[in-house]
Amino acid sequence: MTLTRPMGLTTHVLDTARGCPAAGLRIDVSEVSADGRARLIKTVRTNADGRTDVPLFGPGEMEAGQYELLFHVGAYFRATGSAVTDPPFLDLVPVRFAAAAAGGHYHVPLLVSPYGYVTYRGT
């Protein structure tokens, strides 16, 4: 059996404070211009598994360029009843990255707690 990797852009958000997927977390997906301005393309929410129901960009939808995923972690942690400061230490977590070539697969996971986060290029 040959497994094919999905194309486009995907993410997976894990709540490391509670040890579970971050369900219901809002993510704004933007394209970033050469002058650094972000243009909102879409807003999505994570499902019960901390993923989106469909890729953020499907096959052939993502061009080479700069992008930003803006994770609304402050609202997520408030909604879960987690102990957070007011205002929260982390409210919005922007992850800007470059897609070097169109047609590739980019996976941008986020491991997050109310006080820290880690991201990387996944597979």
Residue 1 lies in a domain: no
- Name the nearest CA neighbour of 93 among 34, 33, 22: 22
Residue 18 lies in a domain: yes
Residue 2 lies in a domain: no
CA distance 96 to 100: 13
- CB contact at 8 A, 89 and 82: no
| Mean pLDDT value of segment 68-88 | 96
| Mean pLDDT value of segment 78-97 | 95
Residue 76 lies in a domain: yes
| Mean pLDDT value of segment 55-75 | 94
**Tokens coding 47:** 């499902």
Residue 3 lies in a domain: no
Q: Which pLDDT band holds residue 77 (cuts at 50, 70, 90)?
A: very high
Residue 97 lies in a domain: yes
Residue 82: CATH number of its domain = 2.60.40.180
Q: Is 47 helix (H, G, I), strand (E, B) or coil?
A: coil
In this predicted structure, the answer to whether residue 50 has a pLDDT above a threshold of 60 is yes
Residue 112 lies in a domain: yes
Q: Which pLDDT band holds residue 121 (cuts at 50, 70, 90)?
A: very high
The total number of structural domains in the chain stands at: 1
Residue 23 lies in a domain: yes
What pLDDT shows up at residue 104?
83
| Mean pLDDT value of segment 18-26 | 98
In this predicted structure, the answer to whether residue 68 has a pLDDT above a threshold of 80 is yes
For residue 61, what are the domain limits? Answer: 8-119
